[in-house]
Amino acid sequence: MTKNTCIKENKVGISKHNKFNTSWWVLFILMIAFSYVTRLYKVSQPDHVCWDETHFGKMGSWYINRTFFFDVHPPLGKMLIALSGYLSGYDGTFPFEKPGDKYGNTSYVGMRMFCSTLGMFVVPFGYLTIWEMTKSVDAAAFAALFIVCDVGILTLTRYILLDPIFLFFMMGTVFGITKFRTLFHKPFSFQWWSWLMFTGFMMTSCISVKFVGLFTVILVGLKTIEDMWDILGDLKKPFKYTIQHFCARFLVLIVFPILLYMTYFYVHLQILNRSGNGDGFYSSGFQSQLIGNSLYNAKVAYGAVISLKNHRTGGGYLHSHYHLYPEGVGARQQQITTYTHKDENNHWRVKHYEKEYEEESPVKLLKHGDLIRLEHVASKRNLHSHKIQAPVTKKHNQVTGYGENGVGDANDVWKVLIEGGSDGEVVNTVTSKLKFIHYLQLCVLTTTGKQLPKWGYEQQEVSCNSNLRDKNSLWNVEDNIFPKLPNVSFEVYAPNFLKRFIESHAVMFQGNAGLKPKEGEVTSKPWQWPINYRGQFFSGNDHKIYLLGNPIIWWSNLLFLLLFVFIFMYNAIRHQRGYKDPPKVARMKNTMLKSCTWLFVSWMLHYVPFWAMGRILYFHHYFPALLFNSMLSAVVITYILESARFMFSETIFTTIYHTIKGLIFSFLLYSFYLFVPLSYGMPSTPATEPNSTMYGLKWLDSWEF
């Protein structure tokens, strides 16, 4: 080969490389620009509270005001919403009472822009992830276009919600672990450590926004196990090398995330230092560190007005209200329940079992073994039980409010026992764990944890159990109002950070498990999600916004999902039968099918577990899985197109390839154009009317726009 020929071939190679680099960057920048514009276009509209902005905007306000509250999600997403609001001029005073409330002069746009910006990053993360998996510009572009043209993802990432923050960290985690695995040839380099740290940070932040981030953590774990298995099988390296890799991953993907996760909670508990309406979900000791808590007196005296908190995790306060049990549900007397929110209906007066308390009476402290009556302060009825079945737990006795102006009968008498106490021991606020034994029926006051029907306002059942060892029968005094005794500080009872951290999780897990659909509430089932069966309204009235996936994308996703299963099985059978592909074909198939397999596993991890969940579910729970399905579709399309390269001549293949690419891009963009009013807002005219923006596009009767 002559020198001139070599120079010529090198120039051709450089030219192709430059052309490739140019295409990669042009497509990447276009996708970012398209994503940025579509997410921030009309971000201030509608100028009223949309869907769950009422929850997460309100929680942002509470962070700014440092007011404690309860939520079933970890704190990071809400803290970031609060930070974005604070930095953009929001003062935390807007009430966020209900969807449809006008924002007026409230500085809400900064919070929406923050969430939208994080949601925008989902698109480039998808592009970069598929590029790192396949090294195919076309596959990366298809993945980004599938994501950016889905009006469902667009809607979900434009408002003050946890979802755009969660999807940002989830996709960042997936990109991080994918990029890290491409650096197997540079172990322990600065770049290698940087991407491992990036993955650990994004993964921790993902689960710190929503607990369903656990599925992403499992995905990272599976990929790490595969990595370690490959390293272990490399006999060219000593076993010490495998141990080094294990230690690095253990440090960065386990130890570092645990410390970072706990740091997020530490900051959360430091910020929320003022008593608020979420106090009641937590133990009295937990509340003692909150400024403005209602803990006053250390000793309990006769005549004191107290509240009794059940000692089970997330236990509520002994509560009553003027409503009676309905006909056919035990005795038609006043309802007794437990309620996790603080109000005046949680207050009870401690009285001697034989005589009324008088203001001029000397102070007499309540002791272990005393017989008492508990009078509901608001209704003047006594805590009462009798041998009639409880409303839900039929083996227990019913507990009611009985009597008039504190005068009842012998079934109002209860014996107070301190757990592990002795005769004459004084009952203390917070620290004494109490049992209330019914004097005549010899049953113990308890809460079953079962939710009452609508007539009981979905509060929890209180009953009297003949099994005196009932684990839910322990109570402690929290509020203790008695002017004759001096107020004291309860900080000495406050648990340390680790105990508060553990209790926070116990309460959140219980709250998640207790999320059940309310009567008349529109929910959805997991089987409905992939087929785009029904959406959900974000806004109504004259500016309707409806969360629904782009049907072209969603139904194509299902098709390509099934197609992947067929392709995978077909190639597995060919391999088992001993068929060999040419080296180029084999390399392409190996790359594409391995990428598809991981995306398929990721889709299953983020979708299938919902089938086993007993809690209430909504359509938006499917969107993390949707992102993996969209990326899978992009790789399957590219696999099919690349396979055609080996079936036709270069000229015919080029024509087919560019024609199909053009058609796919056109269909995706046109479908986005058709359905994008669902995201930006439609007039109230039904889609069945000819003058409607969405006329002719209501393809399923279950769609409600």
310 and 411 both lie in a single domain? yes
The residues, any chain, with a CB within 8 Å of residue 277's CB and separated by 6 or more, are 69, 341, 342
Q: Are residues 646 and 578 in the same domain?
A: yes
Distance CA 204, CA 334 (A): 48
Sign of CA dihedral 62, 63, 65, 67: positive
In the listed set 472, 489, 506, which residue is the last one of a domain according to the structure? 489
Lowest mean pLDDT across 146-155, 270-279, 360-369, 487-496: 487-496
Residue 328 lies in a domain: yes
Q: What is the pLDDT of residues 629-649, one digit of tens each?
A: 999 999 999 999 988 888 888
Model-wide pTM > 0.75 = yes
How high is the pLDDT of residue 52?
92
Q: Is the same domain home to 368 and 453?
A: yes
Residues 447, 522, single domain; the answer is no
Q: Do residues 522 and 458 share a domain?
A: no
**Residue pair 353/302 in contact by the 8 Å Cβ criterion:** no
| CA quadruple 269, 273, 276, 280: dihedral, nearest 10 | 50
Residues 412 and 167: their CA atoms lie apart, in Å, by 55
Question: Is the domain of 471 the same as that of 536?
Answer: no
Q: Are residues 464 and 581 in the same domain?
A: no
Mean pLDDT of 402-431: 91
pLDDT of residue 583: 86
Is residue 76 included in any domain, yes or no? no
Domain co-membership, 484 together with 545: no
CATH number, domain of 454, equals 2.80.10.50
Confidence of residue 292 (pLDDT cuts 50, 70, 90): confident
Give a yes or no: residue 537 inside a domain: yes
pLDDT 10s digits, 237-286: 999 999 999 999 999 999 999 999 999 999 999 999 998 888 888 888 88
| End position of a domain, from candidates 444, 474, 489 | 489
Report the residue count for the chain. 705
Mean pLDDT of all residues in 12-40: 79
Residue 276, class by beta-carbon neighbours within 10 Å (0-12 exposed, 13-18 middle, 19+ buried)?
Answer: middle
CA 671 to chain centre: 30
User: Is residue 152 one of the residues assigned to a domain?
Assistant: no
Any domain includes 519: yes
Is 2 a residue whose pLDDT tops 60?
no
Please tell me the least confidently modeled range out of 103-107, 152-156, 287-291, 415-419.
287-291
Domain-embedded: residue 88: no
Kindly state whether residues 470 and 599 are assigned to the same domain: no
What's the mean pLDDT when you consider all of the chain? 91
Write the DSSP symbol of residue 610: G
Provide the domain limits for residue 622. Answer: 515-705
Preceding peptide of 46 cis, ω within 30°:
yes
Same domain, 341 and 477: yes
Position 518 scores a pLDDT of 65
- The residue with greater pLDDT, 51 or 684, is 51
Contact 132, 182 (CB under 8 A): yes
* Poorest-pLDDT segment among 272-286, 316-330, 378-392, 451-465: 272-286
Using one digit for the tens of pLDDT, what is the confidence trace for 507-534? 999 888 777 766 656 678 999 999 999 9
Q: What percent of the chain shows pLDDT beyond 90?
A: 72
pLDDT tens profile 657-694? 899 999 999 999 999 999 999 999 988 888 888 888 89
Assigned domain for 371 exists = yes
Claim to verify: residue 479 and residue 525 sit in the same structural domain:
no
The distance of Cα 57 from the centroid of its chain, to the nearest Å, equals 15
SS3 per-residue string spanning 258-272 = HHHHHHHHHHHHHHC
Note the pLDDT tens digit of each residue in 130-188. Answer: 999 999 999 999 999 999 999 999 999 999 999 999 999 999 999 999 999 999 999 99
Total number of domains in the chain: 3
Pairing state of beta strands 444-451 and 348-352? Answer: unpaired
Q: Is residue 593 part of a domain?
A: yes
Residue whose pair of structure tokens reads 């393809």 in the numeric block = 699
Q: What is the mean pLDDT of residues 613-640?
A: 94
Nearest to 465 by CA among 450, 449, 447: 447
Residues 522 and 476 both lie in one domain: no
Classify 506 as helix, strand or coil. helix
Distance CA 565, CA 64 (A): 50
